[in-house]
Amino acid sequence: MKLKKLFIFCIIFLLLTILFQNIGGKKEEITEVVLITGFEPFNGYEINPSELIAEELNGTNIKNATIIGIVLPVDYNMAKEAIMNAIEKYNPSIIISLGLAYYRRMICIEKVAINFRSIYINNKWTGIEKINVTAPLFIISSLPTFKITEEIREEGIPARQSFFAGTYLCNYIFFITLHYIRENNLSIKAGFIHVPPLDEQAKHGMKLDEMVEAVRTAVDVSMER
């Protein structure tokens, strides 16, 4: 009888030990935050797929990361304020900003942000100016752009690297984000992805679920150490 009680006690002790080890292991897991940004519709386009992607991914998880998706206004100052507030609030380890490039036919992983932006007066383009007069002429994306491109292609989704993000809001957000990270010595990876229009917007467009999958792949690859 004593041996039987001792055996039962040992089994219970072993089960409790395993249980508490598992609970402790879960508590030790570090949850990262990945910030995904899109833009509101602009330039007469009723839909901006970058907005839909950010909303679709918001609140989801990839590996041990929580995705925060936000939509930026189509305004230099307001967009800058929104993304800076988001960086301060969420302290992300990765930032991937998205934007619509209507005439592109595939996912474009941007490699270079340039220190120039277009000037518009009364909605008319009047030239370009430096974004920051003391900053470098360009900053390279800190995302593994080549590997992201290859992995997206492996999923059967058309993709390529791009070396020009334009001179409007897409490049602007790309540049100021990288510059802010550099100036404040933050350990954040950041980059920009241009997406084509939806297939319902143009013949050369892409399905939304393919775009979402491409961005999920970009996050997954960027999280690799």
* Active site members: 110, 170, 194
Between CA 87 and CA 102 the distance in angstroms is 28
DSSP labels, 127-195: EEEES-TTS-SEEE-SS-HHHHHHHHHHTT--EEEES---SSHHHHHHHHHHHHHHHTT---EEEEEEE
DSSP labels, 27-44: HHPPPEEEEEEEE---TT
Q: Is the dihedral of CA 194, 199, 201, 203 positive or negative?
A: positive
Q: How far is CA 52 from CA 109, 170, 197, 201, in A?
A: 18, 16, 11, 14
CB 106 within 8 A of CB 146: no
**DSSP, res 206:** B
CB 99 within 8 A of CB 39: yes
